[in-house]
Amino acid sequence: MMIRKASIDMKEFQKKTGFAAVLIAAIALTGCDKGGESAASGGENAGETISEAVDSAAESVESAAGAVADKAEETVASVKEAAESATAPSSSRTESGSDKGKFPPLPASLPTKADLDKVKTDVSKAAKDMVDEVKKQLEVVHVQAKEAAELLIDNPDVVVLDLRTPAETSKGMIPSAINLDFRNPEFAENLKKLSTDKKYLIHCQSGGRSTSALSTFKALGFDTVYHLDGGYSGWEKAGLDTTTPNK
């Protein structure tokens, strides 16, 4: 599974959850970015690499949120202790009364443990939501020819998109495939006409053009794309059924 990087409005996120949340979100996104970089060079193991990176980032989110809240609790306790010491008059001051009222009362605005627990929960949830948002974006599953054939049998709602030229498809196609020529200047416009919620199996002749097309699928907001590694050539080599379009 390959996942694109999220575009996050950090200013808006900070308004909602505070500076601590931004730090935690950075931890999460760093994990996802590393997964993305590994995926770019990982070939068939890309999906596993990114999945592990996102899971690791989610764990970092919870750990960091807890650390932030715990540190805040320690700080508040220290402030309260210092404030209480300052407001407690010495015996000499009590006797003379000369210093009475000179020390300010304990600030009423210091957060309670309940407040800090709520911050911890809110920060953790907000950062995890960001990770979930990354995971929701275009999912690309790489499959070999026989896996693709099984996929189409088990999931008849999957739409097959053949990204080759009409000249190529005239020699043979995967049954039920729809031709959407990647080299056509109107490729993106034609792709916009398709539902982004459906699942698609895409392929070209050997895998080059279909890989290049993934960025367009991502930009248009498609949810799930199965990529036929090896393309139509791999499908033929596997001895799977093909059909010739009606002329």
Calculate the alpha carbon distances from 195 to 103, 154, 179 in Å. Answer: 68, 21, 16
99 within some domain: yes
Indicate if 66 and 158 belong to the same structural domain. no
Are 234 and 205 contacting, i.e. CB atoms less than 8 angstroms apart?
no
For the ranges 53-57, 126-130, 196-200, which has the lowest average pLDDT? Answer: 53-57
Summarised one tens digit per residue, pLDDT across range 72-124 is 667 767 766 766 666 555 544 444 455 555 555 555 566 777 877 787 788 77
95 with 151, same domain?
Answer: no
In 108-208, where do the E strands start and end?
139-143, 159-162, 178-179, 199-203
Residue 153 lies in a domain: yes
Half-sphere exposure of 215 (CA within 13 A, CB side): 4
pTM over 0.85: no
- Cα 140 to Cα 226: distance, rounded to the nearest angstrom: 6
Asked, for residue 4, whether it belongs to a domain, the answer is no
Q: Is the pLDDT of residue 235 over 80?
A: yes
Is 22 in the same domain as 111? yes
User: Do both 58 and 145 map to the same domain?
Assistant: no
Is residue 247 situated within a structural domain?
no
Closest-CA residue to 152 (of 177, 170, 171, 172): 177
Does the pLDDT value for residue 219 go beyond 80?
yes
Judge contact between 183 and 212, C-beta under 8 A: no
Total number of domains constituting the chain: 2
CATH of the domain at 216: 3.40.250.10
- Backbone phi and psi for residue 240, each to the nearest 5 degrees, phi listed first: -85, 160
116 and 153 both lie in a single domain: no
- The whole-number average pLDDT for the span 183-207 is 96
3-state SS, one letter per residue, for 63-122: HHHHHHHHHHHHHHHHHHHHHHHHHCCCHHHHHHCCCCCCCCCCCCCCCCHHHHHHHHHH
The pLDDT of residue 15 is above 70? no
Same domain, 183 and 109: no
What pLDDT is attached to residue 123? Answer: 77
Q: How far apart are CA 216 and CA 112, in angstroms?
A: 50
Domain check: are 198 and 110 in the same one?
no
**Would you say the C-alpha torsion 55, 59, 65, 67 has a positive or negative sign?**
negative
Task: With cut-offs at 50, 70 and 90, classify the pLDDT of residue 24.
Answer: low
Do 57 and 131 reside in the same domain of the chain? Answer: yes
Report the chain's mean pLDDT, rounded to a whole number: 74
Pair (171, 192) in one structural domain: yes
Active-site residue, selected from the candidate residues 28, 54, 204, 225: 204
For 146-167, what is the mean pLDDT? 97
Instruction: List C-alpha distances in Å: 218 to 54, 55, 189, 211.
Output: 18, 22, 14, 12
Pick from 71, 104, 136: which residue ends a domain?
136
- Give pLDDT tens digits for 28-67: 555 544 444 444 344 444 444 555 655 666 666 666 666 6
Q: What is the per-residue pLDDT for 138?
A: 75
Residue 201 lies inside a defined structural domain of this protein: yes
Task: Please check whether residue 243 lies inside any domain of the structure.
Answer: no
Residues 89 and 196 in one domain: no
Whether residue 148 is found in the same domain as residue 122: no
Tokens 């209480």 appear where? 84
Domain that holds residue 58: 10-136
Q: What whole-number distance in Å separates Cα of residue 172 and Cα of residue 243?
A: 5
Q: Between 87 and 1, where is the model more confident?
A: 87
Residue 219 to residue 55: CA distance in whole angstroms:
24
Residue 231 lies inside a defined structural domain of this protein: yes
Domain final position from 91, 116, 136: 136
Q: Is 32 a catalytic residue?
A: no
Residue 6 binned pLDDT confidence (cut-offs 50, 70, 90): very low
Question: Domain ends where: 115, 136, 157?
Answer: 136
In a domain, 82, yes or no: yes
- Pair (125, 157) in one structural domain: no
Confidence of residue 206 (pLDDT cuts 50, 70, 90): very high
pLDDT at 211 over 70: yes
